[in-house]
Amino acid sequence: MTGTAIFWPMGALALLTFIVLGQIPLRRFAAVRKKEVTPDDFRFGESARVGSRVAIPNRAMMNLLELPILFYVLCLMAFVSGGVTPLLLWLAWAYVGLRYVHTLIHMTWNNVAHRLVPFALGNVVLMAMWAVFFANLAIR
């Protein structure tokens, strides 16, 4: 296994982020076309008139830019330091898979209790990635 393998889960998470990003204008334009909202409802973010179907992609996008930054940073640290291991790579894919599940739930039926499970598990996996990385770094 080469260290560049860590770029695949990074790319998969970036792809998910771009898919969600694409949903924001699609849903906003559709809502304006249907006269559910006006363009002014988006002047300073989203007004109270904006329905959840239109607002959820924006919130999902924020979720994909908050904690995942720690994922991207760690993956780059692992690559640069030569610290990509099979375990770290497996954890990276697990994290990305859980982010996909969380985002799918968020963007569809959006049951908070349902999406909490993959979100929390993803956070545990991310913390494990950091622990594994530094444990491996310490024993080199």
Q: Which residues contact 101 (CB under 8 A, 6 or more apart)?
A: 118
Burial track 82-115 (b if 16+ CB lie within 10 A, e otherwise): ebbbeebbebbbbbbbbbbbbbebbbeeeeeeeb
| Two structure tokens written together for 15 | 């792809």
Tally the domains of the chain: 1
For the chain, what is the mean pLDDT? 96
Residue 140: its pLDDT value, please? 84
pLDDT one-digit tens code per residue, 31-51: 999 999 999 999 888 889 999
Query: From CA 126, how far away is CA 39, in angstroms rounded?
Result: 38
Domain around 13: 3-139
Query: From CA 125, how far away is CA 121, in angstroms rounded?
Result: 6
Residue 130 pLDDT greater than 80, yes or no = yes
pLDDT one-digit tens code per residue, 52-104: 999 999 999 999 999 999 999 999 999 999 999 999 999 999 999 999 999 99
Burial track 64-78 (b if 16+ CB lie within 10 A, e otherwise): beeebeebeebbebb
Q: Residue 15 belongs to what H/E stretch?
A: helix 7-33
| Two structure tokens written together for 19 | 């898919």
The domain that holds 100 is classified in CATH as 1.20.120.550
Query: From CA 51, how far away is CA 125, in angstroms rounded?
Result: 33
Residue 117: its pLDDT value, please? 98
